[in-house]
Amino acid sequence: MSTRAMVLVEAQRLEMEEFPIPAIGAEDALLRVEACGLCGSDVEQYDGALAAIGIPFSSILGHEPVGTIEKIGAEASRRWDVSEGDRVVVEPLLGCGYCRACLTGNYRTCSSGREGLRVAGYGFIPTSVSPALWGAYAEYMYLDRRTVLHKVPKTISPRVAALYQPIAAGIQWAAHIANTKVGDTVVILGAGQRGLGAVVAAHEAGAHRILVTGLSRDAHKLTLAREFGATGTIVADEEDTVERVAELTDGEGADVVLDLTPVATEPVLHAIEIAKPQATILFAGIKGSGKAIPGFSTDSVILKELTLRGVAGQDLRAYEPALRLIESNKYPFEKMCTHTFSLEEAERAILTLAGRTSDEASISITIAPGDIHGLTPAAANHMSAPTLTGI
């Protein structure tokens, strides 16, 4: 028995390949992928930028899967409290469980790796590592015994459930790490999926002002940011971000600043300038390996007594409330779901997220197995499963 998956064989080249369905033992499982959310790091991985930091090619991309348990071992079923037929979302990182990071509850920073790999996580392990099915750009994905997963009600569409990671990122960064408090002013630089997730988290935390920046092409994102609780938006390529923040905060500046913008370095300087004394600034937007920040000086950081913190992932303490928010229908998260592509259209999905196609502006993009080209979102959510027998 075999299943199909899209493999990144080299920079900017995906190929459809078939792989054998692995035997499932007592401690692992097989996931039928219903949808896989796309992340900005998928674009970087596709472009080959992650190869410079040790992420190999010949891997099945996709680390934001939603799917149904197709087959599961008895011990895994007991440990995860799920059964065959249950819908789940999967955390991407595979902690070893015994290194210092894992033992102190920081499994998302586990440094043990797997078989010498720089990153042990779904979407980043090459197909040369058995049983090959380590990514969600596939009909089926293998679930290792170290997997952390969460059950999701069948009443939530896979496309909306696939938002669990960007919403969790917003909660982890804006609420847990930045410690946003009631009455705070929060400025979010960047209105992508995680920026919108941060708006929701700041709103839930009781922030008094929530300001979000985007570009002129991001009008749809900024409109949605207001629906999620933003009190003001700034068009960064038409307005002066620093001046507008001063105007919108009566000259006070921000208690919390999140820089979620990729590549661009100017927001780093903006973050420091708009921050109040003793404010917290979080950096999550990857700028590129070795890229310098022209004009950066530590003087303002010292004199303002700022706290600067890098953030890169999230854990179950953020995933659990993210899923509860999605289940609550408190926010119109379905409006984030702009595109769904078939497995065969994975490259187009990546290019659409990167803004390199003529498709209308995107927010959240999912890949789903099977031919869904031309289907409405509702129809895409009710696709029949790929047939797999004999397991």
3-state SS, one letter per residue, for 197-254:
HHHHHHHHHCCCEEEEEECHHHHHHHHHHHHCCCCEEEECCCCCHHHHHHHHCCCCCE
134 phi and psi angles, rounded to 5 deg = -105, 10
pLDDT at residue 390, rounded to an integer: 38
Q: Is position 319 within any domain?
A: no
Confidence class for position 290, pLDDT limits 50, 70, 90: confident
C-alpha span between 65 and 91 (Å, rounded): 8
Which CATH number does the domain housing residue 296 bear? 3.40.50.720
- Residue in the structure block whose two tokens are 């999140």: 258
Residues 173 and 303 in one domain: yes
92 within 8 A of 64, measured Cβ to Cβ: yes
Residues 138 and 176 in one domain: no
Residues 178 and 295 in one domain: yes
Tens of pLDDT, residue by residue over 9-65, are 999 999 999 999 999 999 999 999 999 999 998 998 999 888 777 788 999 999 999
Q: What is the pTM of this model?
A: 0.91
pLDDT at residue 370, rounded to an integer: 57
**What integer is the mean pLDDT of 79-99?**
94
Tens of pLDDT, residue by residue over 308-326, are 999 988 999 999 999 999 9
From 275, 310, 345, the end of a domain falls on 310
Residues 182 and 220 in one domain: yes
Name the E strands within the chain: 2-10, 13-20, 29-37, 59-60, 65-72, 87-90, 140-143, 149-151, 185-189, 209-214, 232-235, 254-259, 275-283, 307-310, 337-342, 364-368
Which CATH number does the domain housing residue 32 bear? 3.90.180.10
Instruction: Indicate whether 376 pLDDT > 90.
Output: no
User: Which one-letter amino acid corresponds to residue 28?
Assistant: D
Residues 55 and 105 in one domain: yes
**b/e code 16-43 from CB counts within 10 Å (16+ = b):** ebebebbebeebbbbbbbbbbbbbbbbb
Q: Is position 35 within any domain?
A: yes
Instruction: Indicate whether 372 pLDDT > 50.
Output: no
Tens of pLDDT, residue by residue over 121-131, are 999 999 999 99
C-alpha span between 23 and 278 (Å, rounded): 55
Residues 306 and 178 in one domain: yes
Q: What percent of the chain has pLDDT over 90?
A: 79
Longest dimension (CA), the chain: 67
Tens of pLDDT, residue by residue over 146-199, are 999 999 999 999 999 999 999 999 999 999 999 999 999 999 999 999 999 999
Residues 180 and 107 in one domain: no
- Chain centre distance of CA 96: 22
Domain limits for position 18: 2-151+332-380
CA distances from 302 to 297, 307, 386 (A): 9, 9, 58
Q: Is position 185 within any domain?
A: yes
Residues 275 and 193 in one domain: yes
Q: Is position 115 within any domain?
A: yes
Quick check: helix, strand or coil at residue 4? strand
Residues 108 and 238 in one domain: no
Q: Into how many domains does the chain fold?
A: 2
